Structure 1
Amino acid sequence: MKLIFALLSLVSSPAFAAVTTIQQNLMPAVSQNEFNAGIVLVTGKGETDSSVDVERSGVLMAGSYYYGIAENQALGLDMGITSLNDKMDDGTDTVDLKTIGLNDINFRYKANFDLGMPTLYLSAGFNLSPGEKTFDTTTTDPEFNSASGQNALAVHSGMIFPSSVLNYGFSVGYTNRLDGKYKRKSNSSPATADLKGGSSMTVSTFVESTNSLHTNVSLNYSRAYSSYAQESDGVNIYSSSPIEMMQLLGSMRIAINEHIELMPGIAYQTYLNKDEINLKSYNELDFGFNARFVF
C-alpha cells in the first residue's frame, strides 16, 4: 500500500496524450461504458504423493463493467461464477469434490498515468464476499462454495514501456483478506468459526505486439498464504496450506469495429510448492474467450 501511495505522489493528475495501453491496462474513455464477458474451460491432471489420481474440469464465467469518470480513470466492478469438479481416484474409490457458486465481487478504481517514457497503471478497491465460506458434506458429493468468505482490500500496479514492435512491462498486486466466516455443513458435526489468513500476492511480466492482433504473452506468479477457521476452544475446523502457482498465458485482442473486441486465449499453469500440498505432479491447460464492448 505504501508503494502505491508513493508512486501516486509522483504525478498530480493523469496525462491525456502519451499513455501506452495494452491488454493489462485497458480503460474506457471519459463518459464511456465498458462491458466484458468471458468464459474459461478448465482441464487439469495430477497425482498426489499417495498415488491418488486427480482430474480437474469445469467452467469459469466472468463479467465486468467500468465507466470512464475522467481521462484515463474509471470506476467499476468485476464478478464471476465458478463450477469446478476435482475427481480423485485411488484405484478403489472415486470422490468428486465440487466448487460451485458466485465468486467475490470486486469493486475497483483504476487509472493510467503518463510518467514520460513508461505508463504507470494501478487499480485499488474492495472485494466483497457474497457469503460465508461453506463446506457441505450433506450432499452426494462434498461441495465448497466459491465465495472466499472474507472481504478484502486489493491493490495492483504496474509499468508499461512502449517500443515500435513490442510494448512490455511488469506488475505487482496484493490482496489483504479480512477476517470472515467458515461454515461446515454436516449431518453429524456442523460447525461455524472465524476464518483468518488467506491473503495473496501476484507478480507478472508481459509483452504485447503493436500490430493489429495485439498478441499478448504474460508470465504470472501467485502465492496465496495459509488460512484457517478456529473455534473458540482452539480447534481448527478448516485449514489450507500456502499455494504457489506459475501461469503462462497467451492471448490476442482482435478489433471487430470501434465498439467490439474479441480476446481468445490459452493458459498453462502448475503448482510450484507441490511438496507443501502433497502433490507429486499437476498440469492444467485452460482455454478462454472474452468479448469487450465499449460505447
Structure 2
Amino acid sequence: MDDIKTGWFSELSTLWPGQCLSLEVEEVLFHEKSKFQDIMVIQSKAFGRTLILDGVIQCTEKDEFSYQEMITFLPLNSHPQPRKVLIVGGGDGGVAREAVRHPAVEQVVMCEIDQMVVDVSKRLLPFMAAGFQSPKLELHFGDGLEFMKQHRDEFDVIITDSSDPVGPACTLFEENYFELMSSALRAGGIICSQGENMWFHQDIIRKVMDGCRKYYGSVSYGFTTIPTYPGGQIGFVLAAKDQGVDFSRPRRELTEPELDAMGLRYYSAEVHRAAFVLPRFVRQALAAPQ
C-alpha cells in the first residue's frame, strides 16, 4: 500500500526493469492476500476499475477488451469448429465472457487456481465477470497442470490466460505444460497462451516457442495493443497439432453484423490477420531454428 499513499499506483517489476506505469488512484476498493498472491482492485482516474495481482496490472475497465477478445478469438477463429474450450487461469472472467459468445462454442471449461480472484471479480469487476453467468461455462478451482492430466483428448481449443512467469504462473510457461496441453487436445486442436512483450521478453517467447515446436506441427506469435500493459503491447503464442496451419488466415471470418451482435470492439478478421504481421527484428528473433 506504500505506493497508494501518494495517490498513485506504480507497477514495478523485474520483468521490465528501469520503467513503470503509474495510475492515479481515486479509491482502493479491495486489497487482501490470498493463498497464492496479493490481490488489489482500485478505482483509477484514467482507466476505471483495475485488477492488480502481485503488483502487476491484469486488466482495466477502459482497455481490457483488446486483450480478452484477441486471446480468445485468435485461436477460436483459427479452428474450423471449436466446440469445447478449456481456459486455464482467467480468474477475472474476461476470456470466459468472450468464449461463450462464439457461436460455434458449445462448452467452456475453466480451471482457475485462485478462487479469491473469481469472487472479487464477480463482486467488483462485473464488466469482466459476465461470462460466469453463462450456462455454457463449467468452473473448476485447482492447478491447471493437474487438471489436464485427468483430461486427455478432450478439447478443441485450450486458452491459457496467465499472469507473468513469476509466482503461481511460472509453471504455465514451462515445456512440460505445453506437452500436457497437447495431450489434452483433440485431433486438430489449437492452443493459445499469453505470450509476453516482444520488446522486452524475446528470450522468454523464444523459449516457449521452441518448446512448442517439439509437440505441435504449427507455432506462431501474434500480438495486440493495450495501453496499460508494459510497452503498450502483449503477445500470444499459438500452436496447432496439425502442420501447415496459417494462423494469420482465420478459418472463420465473423461478419460485421456478427461482430456487432457479439459486442466485439477490437477484434475483426482484418485485425486478426494484422496481429501476425511482426516487425523484422521480432521475426528474426523468433524464427524457427534451421
Pair in the same fold by TM > 0.5? no
Q: TM-score, structure 1 length as denominator?
A: 0.30
- Larger-gyration structure (1/2): 1
